[in-house]
Structure 1
Amino acid sequence: MSDTNLTATDPARFGRFEIRLAQRQLLIDGAPVALGSRAFDVLAVLVERRDRLVSKSELIELVWPGLVVEENNLQVQVSMLRKLLGAQVIATIPGRGYRFTAAATAQDSPPAPPAAPARAALPAAPAAGPPQLLVADDNKVNRLLLCRALELMGHRVAGVEDGAQALALLRRERFELLLLDLEMPGLDGFAVLEQLAADADLRDLPVIVTSSVEGVASVARCIALGADDYLSKPVNPVLLKARVTSSLEKKRLRDQQKALIERLAAGAAPVDAGPPATGAARVQASVLQARLHGLAALAQAAPPEDTLEALDSWHTLMFDAVLAHGGVVNLVGGDTLVALFGAPLALPDPADAARAAVRAALEMAEMVELFNAERAARSRPPVALGIGIASGELVAGYTGAPRRTAYTCAGATLERAAQIAVLTADRAHPIVVDAPTHAALAGRLVTEALPAGLAPGGLHAVRAG
């Protein structure tokens, strides 16, 4: 095995392919390859630990932290990687796990890619580094043990001994999660939850209640007051890690969704600006239209709150996939989401926009698969995803009144993406792309040409996984 190290700032090459962790890119023969984020994470874990075998349980824990994932999800990602890299690159050790077997070759670091165009400012984010958590518990021993357990997980932790101290600290500093005891002198856990719910700045803070109070009534009251989860004392360390990881991930997705929605609602012009410059231009871009098929049937059969929960979760997952691959959400309405790649943030090569759109689509499909597994565990019916992608010329720019503008687009490419998305309603081909998008993939993914009678115009289905 080579001594070449792979770090976030030092790409490494293995024969025909190269891995760039910082850019989250896999290149084959120097060209970027469309790869879902989970598949990339599996590859990164195996490469970083290529000096040893990696067990299946370790891979699942690192790639899907805090989630209950079936082993076949891991097998799907490994199978995808083997199709791209060759069966011999990832060896299976029966009953034990996987090992990355390709030898690394030293290389000069490639020149840094050109800086991406500046994005619109997002709401204030926490400082870089581990998430900061707050523990509120009047029992000093319990508090210290819980803080120590969280620190060993890699978090920054502060501890207080009562509810009043917790609220005061939360209003002074930014925390990502509160672990709250119920039985405390003065302001107890229930009172803290009530005050958090009434505070516009704190009501979205995730809260995990940790308590020795037994009974369904206490748990139900905590959830009704806004708590995200409930752990009985003594706290099981495995459950603690899973619930904390899950709560932090949900908060991250909510924050991203909120920021994106605010961008869409506010537009690019300041409130007191004069008539906005349209910035009208003909651009080469890719349009992704995602459809949540079967929403009408779900709304008719399921309770209203279940329908809205499914819709909200679907929007959150789709927003995250678009943002992760450099896209901009252009339209959200009911069961439809439209995203642009290559506009208004232009890319040097239009083919890069098409490949980014396909990578986002693959991640969307992966997220919906895991979302459906979670819904099945709660005896909820699955949701179905359909995605149409078209690439080509758009007329784009800003429209609206002086106090409210939005970036919008029009043209045959937009209409073609919508028409392709409709074709996915039969659920046989969840991701379908037009001929220009397929040409940009250059054979880097497994695709299937759709019959001309079914879909004229050189459409191809992309195999997700």
Structure 2
Amino acid sequence: MSDPASSPAGAHPPPHTLTPFLQALKAGDLETLSKLRHALRTPLNQIIGYSEMLMESAEENNARSILPGLKGIHSSGGQLLAVINDALAPWKIETGRIDFPGMRQAMRAPLASILTQAGHCLEKSRVSGHNDLVKDLEKILMAAHNLEKLFQSEAYSGELIVGRPTPAADEGATDPGPLAPAGAPAVTPEDFGLSAQPMPNAKILAVDDDPMNRDMISRRLEKLGYEVTDAGTGREALQKLKDGNYDLVLLDILMPDLDGFQALEFMKADPRLRHVPVIMLTALDDVASTVRCIEAGAEDYVPKPFNPTVLRARITASLEKKRLRDQEQAFLAQLQVERSKSERLLLNVLPRAIAERLKAGQRTIVDSFIDSTVMFADIVGFTRIAAKQSPHRTVQLLNELFSGFDRIAEQRELEKVKTIGDAYMLAAGVPVIRTDHAEACAEAAFEFLEAVRVFNRRHSLDWGIRVGMNSGPVVAGIIGTKKFSYDLWGDTVNIASRMESHGQPGKIQVSEATKKLIEGKYEFTPVGVIEIRNSSPMPTYLLARKEGKK
């Protein structure tokens, strides 16, 4: 987004005539009249603001000879502010009861005082060599001349008390009086909170179409320790917000091309910018503008000319809210990371379906499954193997082999139930029902045998495993509340274990129940009948792939 104006300073020059406002008064154009306060208070904001900064600089630079003059400028600026607030009170604008000649008469003396005292202070500063004060004094003179030019309009003469008086006004409505006190007292360095520590590394974007306003705001905030960037238009501000990260935006309302309200709406519509706090700055000073700012999402609203202590306090409060909000977001992000870690750990212990039920608050989880297949794989002669090498090496090799089994189980979408020493137990059809449970386990068993062969070649070992399978109903659930695990119970489990323990190294032994489920897909070699505790003798079979099938 580019700024269409070649220069922000030239994009919106301050008005030097009251003619448009007089015409607006005659036409009953309240919207234009509401901007009159802004037009008059902009140079006043500069007069008061620069005089405050100069008083501080004069103390620091041993230029106390101009302090009385600076205080006089500040006091006269306060008088002008009181006159404008009274003459252009919102109720007078709404009823059209604005007395321009009376306002001009009341402003003449304090304005003349400002011009005179600023000229004297400027001359003294040049003579004493305080060149750092000269530029700001010249800005005060420029602002005073701009204010003076506003009242040199030829359309200014005559009594202008016109408009649409309300019944209350005709009946002698009471003037509510000035909306602001007659100027703020002179400030000291302590008023700027120079001893207070600002939010570390806080970056503030100051947006105002008037160069002198931007200069004043930037210098005030930089002295408080903030890093300040300025923008002269709403478009320029949005581009800078897009390109950088800011902790706070000070946003003027009345600007050319894209005003403060529109810029605020764009910010709140952007997910990346909507949480950046915005303090609106304006000389409009009316309730409607305040309400509109807050409703649009502004954090706060400060009328011009602003009291530096109030502005500092509101900036500090807004930055503190942002700091807490950022802290909360960081905490939530870290919480999500830890939650993800916990969930991954939980899924390493429990099936996903069971973990979801636990997270939902279910305390007792016990399920019956009519059709399932259970498989055991056990390392042959593991005690002898373990005795030949260090415990560390044994566990390292066992972990490598079983991790390979884990990958096979995951790829086949089988449920690893547990490891018992050197035995590995898995199931199919539990806890997620599937009709091909027996075939899925059979394919995994063949892959287990191949994984052992690859493992042996890699490490020059001769490890072997026995595999046993059985199919039938099981009961599955969680045992205990601490160090719990998901386990299976029932005769189907016991028989599968016997299939493995009575099996042969490098072979897959299955029960009659499993054979019936996958018959025709594999080759079966009868082994004989085995005795099983608490059960009748049972025929068993060695499982093999059909010839030519891999």
Q: Which has the higher strand share?
A: 1
For the criterion TM > 0.5, the same-fold answer is: no
Larger radius of gyration: 2
Normalised by the length of structure 2, the TM-score is 0.33
1 or 2 for the larger relative contact order (CA 8 Å, sep ≥6)?
1
Normalised by the length of structure 1, the TM-score is 0.39
